[in-house]
Amino acid sequence: MPGIRNRVYFIPKRDIVLFPKLPEIDENADAKKLSVYEGSFELAVNTKWKYIDVMTDKSPVNSEPQGDPPSVTALNTGTFFHSGTEEEATSFARLANNSDFVYLFQIRKGKYRVIGNEMYQTSTKVSQNLGDNATSEIGTSIVVTVTDECPPPFYTGEIVTEDEDDVTIRKTSQDICNDLENMGDFTPGDVTQVMSGKYNIGFLADNTPVWLLRKK
């Protein structure tokens, strides 16, 4: 399924204490994981990922190669459209236009990807259209560009968000069975039956389905 989901997370780089790393490219590297961050973003005390909601059908993300071998990099661009121009969007514009941000967005399959990194500065340009007639499309356009080692890397680490005091965790049904082994004999099918309809499903970089949980 093409496209992204409707919530984009962001945080100033100054609030990131430790960045996750992409694997080294060597003869022992797993080719399928070269674009997947290892570890999590470790944030400064009392800081969390903030978010802005966007229109999924007006928010493309693309990547283009730049430079010449052996120094080719990727120019990653996210063009996100927020349907409002009220205080939330306007305050975001004031922050983002002069800040170096990292962004997380979720593709339709549930995987998270990243625009922004430790090495290169992220450019965010925010513009607004307040409209001049009844048919004008009012909204806030957010254009994010950054150079990176590859198209937007995948991220499977923890996400501490502004609207929650907990942490997103991703576990397979088998992982949950293992956690409950001292409480009884459960199968992945038992877990799936209980979890279905109550928790959302996401996917790891290798397409393994996982339950999206919260750590209290």
pLDDT at position 176 is: 87
pTM comes to 0.74
**66 and 75 in contact (C-beta within 8 Å)?**
yes
Q: What is the pLDDT of residues 98-140, one digit of tens each?
A: 999 999 999 998 899 999 999 999 999 999 999 888 777 889 9
Q: Is 28 left (phi over 0), alpha (psi -120 to 50) or beta?
A: alpha
Burial of 178 (0-12, 13-18, 19+ CB in 10 A): exposed
Q: H or E element: which one contains 87?
A: helix 87-96
pLDDT at position 182 is: 82
Bridge partners, 65 (sequence order): 74
Percent of the chain residues topping a pLDDT of 70: 89
Q: What is the pLDDT of residues 84-98, one digit of tens each?
A: 898 889 999 999 999
Q: H or E element: which one contains 192?
A: helix 188-195
Nearest alpha carbon to residue 12 among 134, 99, 125: 99
Burial of 62 (0-12, 13-18, 19+ CB in 10 A): exposed
CB-based contacts of 114, cutoff 8 Å, min separation 6: 37, 102, 103, 104, 152, 153, 154, 155
Output the average pLDDT for the chain: 87
Burial of 78 (0-12, 13-18, 19+ CB in 10 A): buried
Residue 205 has pLDDT above 60, yes or no: no
Q: Return the CA Rg of the chain.
A: 19
Nearest alpha carbon to residue 155 among 1, 9, 2: 9
